[in-house]
Amino acid sequence: MPAGFDSLGKTLMIFGAVLLIAGAVLHFGGKIPWLGRLPGDIHVERENFSFYFPIVTSILLSIVLTIVINLFTRR
C-alpha cells in the first residue's frame, strides 16, 4: 500500500473522532448544566429579538480541546 494512503487513513480517523466528539457535545450538551451558561456568556433579550453568544464557553472548550489534541498528537 502506498504511503499516501496511510496519511489519508489517519486523517479520516481524526476527522471521524472530531465528528464523534462534536455529535456527543450536541447530543448531551443540554444535559450538562453549566455548558453555555458560564459567567461572561453574552445573552441579550428584547421584545422581538434574542441574541446569545457563549464566548466564555467557546474559549473554555477551545482550551480543553487544544490540550487533548496536543496530548494525542505528541510524539
Number of domains in the chain: 2
Same domain, 43 and 62: yes
pLDDT for the residue 23: 87
pLDDT for the residue 8: 82
Same domain, 51 and 23: no
Q: Please give the residue range of the domain that contains residue 70.
A: 33-75
pLDDT for the residue 2: 61
| Nearest of 64, 70, 68 to residue 35 by alpha carbon | 64
Same domain, 25 and 47: no
Average confidence (pLDDT) per 10 residues, the chain, 75 residues: 72 88 80 78 91 90 88 77
| Element holding 24 (H helix, E strand) | helix 3-28
pLDDT for the residue 59: 92
Taking CA 41 as the corner, what is the angle to CA 30 and CA 20, rounded to the nearest 5 degrees? 40
pLDDT for the residue 57: 87
